């Protein structure tokens, strides 16, 4: 039963992954990313990580993807690439390189895979993770809040439009069909 679920999830995730990197339009990539994130959330459930699964949906799927789409719309980005500019790395070379790396990673990971230990029912629940966060990992927790604050300030500072700049809607990049 679990295996079946896993296979479905894996296929969806992989399909989404391919979609992210292969789509012509950024919006399509964003939606593909959403698919991946959702599939992974289900996978987390299979791994007894309820808290993480929920967080995945809330933060990643719910906020980050929204942010991406927001920016895509703001900048009126209609195409993945600007046809006027030449690529600096041959796609084949890039893919090959990554393939080699992936293989190496797989080899390493396979050495580490053992049979799972037995865990209690509380494993991965909000209470258990929360307890860990507020006891042993209190300092990183607080630090993380500061990081969030800094990031917010940075984003506001970076996003400010200075008085002498033109409004955001500049020369739009042509869509794939409009060449």
As a dihedral over the C-alpha atoms of residue 37, residue 39, residue 42, residue 48, rounded to 10 degrees, the angle is: -70
List the interface residues with another protein, window 93-112 (CB under 8 A): 94-95, 97-102, 104-110, 112
165 vs 178, beta carbon nearer another protein:
165
Other CB atoms within 10 Å distance of the CB of residue 38: 19
For residue 120 the two structure tokens come to: 């209690």
List the interface residues with another protein, window 114-133 (CB under 8 A): 114-119, 123-124, 128-129, 132-133
List the interface residues with another protein, window 51-90 (CB under 8 A): 51-52, 55-56, 59-60, 63-64, 67-68, 71-72, 74-75, 77, 79-82, 85-89
Binding mask 146-165 for another protein (x = CB under 8 A): -xx-xxx-xx--xx-x---x
Site for another protein contains 142 (CB under 8 A): no
Long-range contacts of 85-90 (CB under 8 A, 24+ apart): none
Pick from 51, 33, 42: nearest CA to 126: 51
């Amino acid at each position: 039963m679990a295996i079946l679920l896993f296979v479905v999830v894996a296929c969806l995730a992989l399909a989404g992954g391919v979609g992210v990197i292969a789509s012509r339009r950024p919006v399509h990539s964003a939606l593909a990313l959403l698919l991946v994130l959702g599939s992974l959330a289900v996978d987390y459930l299979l791994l007894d990580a309820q808290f993480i699964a929920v967080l995945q949906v809330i933060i990643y799927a719910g906020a980050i993807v929204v942010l991406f789409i927001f920016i895509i719309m703001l900048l009126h980005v209609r195409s993945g690439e600007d046809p006027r500019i030449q690529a600096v790395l041959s796609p084949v070379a890039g893919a090959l390189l990554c393939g080699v790396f992936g293989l190496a990673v797989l080899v390493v990971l396979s050495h580490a895979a053992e049979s799972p230990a037995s865990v209690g029912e509380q494993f991965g629940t909000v209470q258990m993770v929360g307890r860990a966060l507020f006891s042993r990992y209190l300092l990183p927790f607080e630090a993380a809040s500061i990081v969030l604050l800094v990031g917010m300030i940075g984003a506001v500072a970076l996003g400010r439009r200075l008085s002498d700049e033109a409004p955001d809607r500049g020369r739009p990049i042509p869509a794939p069909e409009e060449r």
